[in-house]
Amino acid sequence: MKRTLLLAVLFVGLGFGAWYAWHQKSTQTGTIAAWDMDFAIKNPEEIGKVFIADRKGRTATVAWKDNAWIYNGQYPARPSAVQSLMETLTKLTVKSLPTTAAEGPMIKTLATEGIKVEIYDRAGQRLKCYYVGGVTNDEQGTYMMMEGSENPYVTHIPSFIGQLRVRYLIGDDNWRDRTIFAEKPETIQSVTMEYPQQKGESFRLEKIKEAEYTITPFFSTTPRKAGEPRKGLPEAYLLQFERLVAEGYESDNPERDSIRALVPFAIVTVKKTDGQEKKVQFWPAAVQINHSTGKTYVEHYHTQRDGDFLSVQDHAFGGIFRGYSFFFEGVPAPIIRN
């Protein structure tokens, strides 16, 4: 009886010891201080620069300068891309330890395909450096390893399902801001809408004084409308220019030069009260047919902005494509389409 009790106690003791050893391995790294599990930056306002590089020699640098995020020292960074990156840098945590069998392939993948990430504070001091590898089979974890460590980990963002590697963007078109117009109505002096193929609907909207505007034909051959513009319409129209963002760059579009050579559907020029001027051209890209009415409609446009070629959606930009007659009493309010 005593022997049986002794064996039972020994069995329980060995079981507890095995559980404790496993628990320690599951909650700590192979190093004593567990420094190589601490991927996240606790204070996002501490981050001043992020450098990203892949094995193909491509790099991206996003830095905080003059109260704005700048990409590669030259371009305003796309706000949504910055937001996604900052969320990753500050919420990143270890999800699990890899099995012994998985460690070798993980390290090999990190060495051959990994993305290097360096994070600096606003004084230029490096805070962290780690490598981002592939994803787990269920695509809910991402392999990462801290520089100087020999231990890879499976990482994630709690409550987020998906891989994290895609958040470390590289490439101009991924990082550059896609904003076409971002103008406060009170800062706009004038807007001209030129429709080369519909000259009669081309117009010029100009601010005379606070809350007072004139709407005149863009072309001298177009007869002027009698009466005043419909009350509130000029102000409502200018609100459309507060935030208009393209869906993406088309830098690799092989037809961009031939498209630019075509007569544009619309040419929009916005002049601000401080004298700055922006001119943007639009060409229909995806024209669809409404089978119930037989009429065509435009889903996307090619856009030329400061030498860049982009794509925009009609549902976002359609509100600015108004005609001259839109602003006057008793006149139908067409939305110009090509």
Q: What percent of the chain shows pLDDT beyond 70?
A: 88
Backbone angles phi, psi at 179, to 5 degrees: -65, 130
92-133 residue pLDDT tens: 999 998 888 888 888 888 988 899 999 999 999 999 999 999
- Point out which residues pair with 216 in neighbouring strands: 204
Structure tokens of 112? 């051959």
Structure tokens of 57? 């020699």
Say what the pLDDT of residue 103 is.
Answer: 86
Say what the pLDDT of residue 184 is.
Answer: 95
161-182 residue pLDDT tens: 888 999 999 999 999 999 999 9
| 74-104: b (≥16 Cβ within 10 Å) or e | eeebbeebbebbbebbbbbebeebbeeeeee
pLDDT of residue 199 exceeding 90, the answer is: yes
- Point out which residues pair with 302 in neighbouring strands: 283, 311
pLDDT mean across residues, the chain: 87
- Give me the residue spans of the domains in the chain: 33-175, 179-327
Q: Which of 132-141, 223-232, 324-333 has the lowest mean pLDDT?
A: 324-333
Burial class of residue 114 in the structure, from the number of CB atoms within 10 Å of its CB (0-12 exposed, 13-18 middle, 19+ buried): buried
Neighbours of 133 (CB within 10 A): 23
Angle at 20 between CA 15 and CA 24, to 5 degrees: 150
Residue 148 CA to residue 158 CA, distance in Å, equals 26
294-321 residue pLDDT tens: 777 889 999 999 889 999 999 999 999 9
Say what the pLDDT of residue 54 is.
Answer: 94
- 230 vs 269, which has greater pLDDT? 269
- 280 vs 295, which has greater pLDDT? 280
Burial class of residue 232 in the structure, from the number of CB atoms within 10 Å of its CB (0-12 exposed, 13-18 middle, 19+ buried): exposed
